[in-house]
Amino acid sequence: MVPAMERLPGLRERLERMEYFALRGPPETGKTTALMAAAEQLTAEGRFAALHVSCLDGRQRHGTTEDAHRAVLGAIREISLVRLPAPLRPPAGELPGEEGLFLGHLSAWAAACPRPVVLFLDDADALDPGALASLLAQLRAGGARRPSGFPRSIVLCGRRDVLAPERRRGDPSSPLAAPLRMGNFTFEQVRALYQQHTRETGQIFTAEAIAAAFELTSGQPRLVNLLARDIVEGMGVPATAAISAQHVFEAKDRLVRQLGELDGWAIEPGVRRVLQAVLAGSAAASALRRGDLARARARGFTAPDPPLRIANPILRERLARAPGLGAQRRMTERPGRFLLPDGRLAFRRMLRAFAVFWRRHGAALVRESVRPEEAPLAVLRAFVARILEGWEEGSLAQVPRRGPTCHELTLCSTRPDGTTAVQRRLLDVRVWGEGQSDRARLGIRRLDRNLPRLGFSRGTLVILDVRGKIGERAPRFEDITTPRGYGVLLVHV
């Protein structure tokens, strides 16, 4: 593991300046790992009471802003019992919330703690917009009480810079500072990581292997680690054998076939526009939207420095064969066809259009895919993403902790009277391959459990049937009822 302070350059200086700031970086660059290690190190050094906590517990679907804040504050208290010695922990007991739960609780903690408090709030963008806005307002108000009456420094981490709107307010007295960006590993850090493996096991990475790994990954932490893990565990290279550049290139080929989750991110509208331009060789940063470029960079798809290019050879090879991008190149549907008079999405009409598209193009898209078993879901997500471009905000995303088949479609639209309408649909999407049991039965059982838990009265079960020749069966649409009485639209294509 690379030392936390190497991965977070300038952190100590920012703490000295009592800054509140966001930590940014593409997914799985080690932000959480580095923050956890930094909190432990800072506390052990004896100057700060530093704590890392996730805001995921505050992700509320049916609760209030206060419920979300209480959940995060509860997580702070629980984590402190494990990570901090008793004198440094937040005081026990309920505090009045007239001035804001965070403001009251964090003020009491800072006043009671014998050391300055440093708080790392991870997954901050998981909070609902109202809960996040209230949290930021309370942090801004508490900044004037530092360091004895409020945490000295607070770092918010997530997939996006949640402090950007606050910084744009231009308040000169605000404690909010520019974000800290976590970059890729340097060549020296990759070499040090692989040499740690050598010290622990005796197995050598040759100089050529380390150079090849850095060239293929450009130091992206997740890819650096996945390459090494696949060589050692997946390929089963004997511990007595040195790991060569040939092993690295073989692991690269295997890894390209395994990075299926990238296909879903790649068909997000803004990201897709950038990637299609880059892959076609027609990319000019001046011709692309600034927000689209930022999204592609935040996802780790494009390099952090000019010129505009795919971040590394592994991603370039995977994206060139992503079924979602291939599906969108074949699409002729336009979002306006699925717009209802009141601004909402014509959900069934969209699914029927997808059934036609799948019969016409599904076989070719599966055949072209690096991983055919992942292609059907990627094609569905790509199709829906293209349609949702007609709305202000929309997504089809996997529901956390509900299994890989459970997805939620969410979109916002403006009614004729100017008010905002939110549509939500729960979908269970299953691929039915050769030799598998009835996917519909499994999907109905899962929806029967998930619908009430997630606050839905109806759901949709999509069966992508890839048995035999794709597209030879006519699509089937049927309204059915689960054992507990919930309505389900069954779509079998």
What is the DSSP annotation of 6-41? HHSTTHHHHHHTT-EEEEE-STTSSHHHHHHHHHHH
pLDDT at residue number 418: 73
Q: How many CB atoms lie within 10 A of CB 445?
A: 13
223 phi, psi to nearest 5 deg: -70, -35
> 3-class SS at 230?
helix
Per-residue pLDDT of the chain (493 residues; tens, 9 = 90+): 788 899 998 999 999 999 999 998 887 788 999 999 999 999 999 999 999 999 988 876 557 888 889 899 999 999 999 999 999 999 987 655 555 788 999 999 999 999 999 999 998 888 888 888 889 889 888 988 998 899 999 999 987 777 877 777 666 666 778 889 888 999 999 999 999 999 999 999 999 999 999 999 999 999 999 999 999 999 989 989 999 999 999 898 888 877 766 666 666 777 877 887 777 665 555 678 888 888 888 888 899 888 888 999 998 877 766 666 666 667 777 888 898 888 889 999 999 999 999 988 888 877 766 556 777 887 888 788 778 877 767 777 778 777 778 888 888 777 777 777 788 899 999 988 888 888 999 999 999 999 998 889 999 999 998 888 777 778 999 999 999 999 999 999 9
Rounded CA gap, 409 and 218, in Å?
35
Return the SS3 of 253: helix
DSSP string, 405-453: TEEEEEEEEE-TTS-EEEEEEEEEEEEE-TT---HHHHHHHHHHHHHHH
- Preceding omega of 372 cis (within 30 degrees of 0): no
* The pLDDT of residue 321: 62
pTM over 0.85: no
The torsion angle over the Cα atoms of residues 361, 363, 368 and 373, rounded to 10 degrees, is 120
Identify the bridge partners of residue 54 per DSSP, sorted by sequence position: 122
Could you say which DSSP state residue 233 is in?
A: I
Note the pLDDT of residue 261.
63
The span from the CA of 473 to the CA of 12, in Å, is 63
The alpha carbon of residue 85 and the mean position of all alpha carbons in its chain are separated, in whole angstroms, by 33
Structural domains present in the chain: 4-181 (3.40.50.300), 187-258 (1.10.8), 261-320 (no CATH), 323-492 (no CATH)
d(CA 309, CA 316): 9
Alpha-carbon distance of 385 to 271, in angstroms, equals 11
SS3 state of residue 459? strand
Strand pairing of 153-157 and 420-432? unpaired
What are the Cα distances from residue 296, in Å, to 26, 267, 289, 351, 394?
A: 9, 11, 11, 28, 18
Contact 153, 118 (CB under 8 A): yes
Look-up: residue for tokens 């990954």? Answer: 217
- The CA distance from 336 to 388, in Å, is 10
